[in-house]
């Protein structure tokens, strides 16, 4: 019964979206973190999604979502001159993480909406399957 595959597809998408939520939470938590070393400061992370299907997905249309990895943002760091800051380097510079809070809030909303979408999809498909099971009763 092909309807069962919807659970796999929606499950893979929910997994991907929850990773996205986790990454966003990490980014927001580290939004203001500082370091005296530009290489050690926290950089915003973003998940990369790809679609994947089995050998027959061209025929059956079943395509799930896979997390391809988490990449660090290459956006420039904020450099601030604060000689009295405990993290300041020898020149008195402090590097602040490149997390953009607005981007992250948007990501969080998008992830939660997508997650809800997938939950609804599972509910609808579950109803359809249960109705099919009670056919002719």
Partner 1 sequence: MKIQPFANHEQALKFRALRNQVLASNIANADTPNYKARDVDFGDALKSAQSGQLSLRKTSDMHISSGNKNSAGVDIKYRVPTQPTLDGNTVQTDVEQAAFSENAVQYRASLSFLDGKIRGLRFAIRGSD
Residues that bind partner 1 (CB under 8 A): 1-3, 5-6, 9-10, 12-13, 16-17, 20, 48-51, 53, 55-56, 58-65, 110-111, 114, 117-118, 121, 124-125, 127-128, 131-132, 135-136
Minimum distance from CB of 77 to partner 1 (Å)?
Answer: 25
Whose Cβ is closer to partner 1: residue 72's or residue 127's?
127
Minimum distance from CB of 133 to partner 1 (Å)?
Answer: 10
Minimum distance from CB of 106 to partner 1 (Å)?
Answer: 12
* Helix axis angle, 5-29 to 101-133, nearest 10°: 160
Q: Of 78, 113, 97, 95, which is closest to residue 32 (Cα–Cα)? A: 97
Whose Cβ is closer to partner 1: residue 20's or residue 88's?
20
Name the CA dihedral angle for 23, 24, 25, 29, rounded to a multiple of 10 degrees. Answer: 100
Give whole-number Cα distances, 6 to 61, 64, 90, 103, 135, in Å: 11, 9, 57, 31, 20
Whose Cβ is closer to partner 1: residue 1's or residue 90's?
1
Whose Cβ is closer to partner 1: residue 74's or residue 131's?
131
CA angle 17, 27, 110 (to 5 degrees): 35
φ, ψ at 61 (rounded to 5°): 75, 10
What size, in residues, is the chain? Answer: 137
Minimum distance from CB of 42 to partner 1 (Å)?
Answer: 24
């Amino acid at each position: 019964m092909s309807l069962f595959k919807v659970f796999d597809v929606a499950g893979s998408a929910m997994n991907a979206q929850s990773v996205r939520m986790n990454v966003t939470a990490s980014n927001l938590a580290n939004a203001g973190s500082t370091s005296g070393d530009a290489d050690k400061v926290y950089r915003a992370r973003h998940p990369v999604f790809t679609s994947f299907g089995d050998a027959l997905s061209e025929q059956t249309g079943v395509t799930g979502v896979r997390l391809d990895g988490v990449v660090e943002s290459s956006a420039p760091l904020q450099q601030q001159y604060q000689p009295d800051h405990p993290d300041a380097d020898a020149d008195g510079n402090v590097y602040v993480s490149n997390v953009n809070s607005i981007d992250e809030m948007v990501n969080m909303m998008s992830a939660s909406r997508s997650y809800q979408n997938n939950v609804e999809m599972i509910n609808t498909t579950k109803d359809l399957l249960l109705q099919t099971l009670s056919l002719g009763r």
